[in-house]
Amino acid sequence: MPGFMKTLVTGGAGFIGSNLVDALLQRGDAVTILDNISTGRRENLEGALANGAELAEVDLRDAEAVSALVERTAPEVIFHLGAQVDVRKSVADTAFDAAVNVGGTVNVLNAAKDHGVRRVVFASTGGAIYGEAQTIPAPEDHPVAPEAPYGLSKFCAENYCALYTRLHGLSTVALRFGNVYGPRQDPLGEAGVIAIFCGRVIEGGQPVVFGDGLQTRDYVHVDDIVSANLLAAESDAGGAFNIGRGEEVTVIDIVDVLAPHAQNGFEPDFQPERKGEVRHIALDASRAQQQLGWKSDIGLVEGLQQTLSSLR
């Protein structure tokens, strides 16, 4: 890994972005954070700003401001994590979702092309793109069948990345994350179930489970997501890469792992299932292992314990 590199992290005040910012600073990079602080949190950046990172409050939809920031800071790599990430909001306001996730990505790609950025690493999504898994774990060539506009907007943005590689020679790569969890997680979307359940453990409450709790997701710790971003930045590989553990984990599995840490018992409060929810998904990350040298190092039990400790 390089000792010093200029980097730009969009969405750097968010859950995943702020963890990536910390890792980049730790290895000695100069880091600029682009975030409009609409869902990102300033408190996520207290350490980063004290250690020399710069926060630019810019909206991804503002093409001129994005371009001016890239021109001024001259990053070698842009880690593009800034996004509208709430699945429910994407259904309620589909045009806004597309404006941020598609239009915002085009603005980042144009700025990168115009100002000599070496590499763009795009944060995409696995489960939301594939929809209901026909093959588990799902490979990258799994049929695309999003259940919500969020998955479609991410897939569309991926295709713009690939187009800019073909049309302009811009080096891009898309990382399709599983359900990310860990310190600083904001309980938005279905991945937030771990943050919500950990909160219930600390408060002495009980976990609310929608449906039978046997729906499965591929949960991957944020530290593993950070390592995937760093490896992807150093690689020349293009296209889409699944970043997950390839393991199906049920909601009940999460309850069972957390139960021993609860003071007053931890019994599921079953509620009616939510319509339109994907039933089963896990990601085949063998391509990432072969071409990026990435694999997940943090198992569920260890990751949940670490997440719980970070909230106490």
User: Any idea which residues carry the catalytic annotation?
Assistant: 150
Instruction: Round to whole Å and give the CA distance between 293 and 16.
Output: 20
Q: Name the nearest CA neighbour of 7 among 27, 26, 41, 33.
A: 33
Question: Any residues with CB less than 8 A from the CB of 139 and at least 6 apart, and which?
Answer: 242, 284, 286, 287
- Distances from the Cα of 32 to the Cαs of 2, 20, 24, 77, 117, in angstroms? 17, 12, 10, 11, 14
What length does the chain have?
312
Phi, psi of 24 (to 5 degrees): -65, -45
Task: Say whether 235 sits in a helix, a strand or coil.
Answer: coil
DSSP string, 93-143: THHHHHIIIIIHHHHHHHHHHHTT-SEEEEEEESHHHH-S-SSSSBPTTSP
Kindly list the distances between the CA atom of residue 172 and the CA atoms of 46, 219, 242, in Å, as whole numbers in the listed order. 30, 25, 15
Between strands 216-217 and 249-250, the pairing is antiparallel
Q: Are 127 and 179 in contact (CB under 8 A)?
A: yes
Rounded Cα–Cα distance for residues 193 and 245 (Å): 18
Under a CB-based contact definition with an 8 Å cutoff, are residues 110 and 151 in contact? no
Identity of residue 226: V
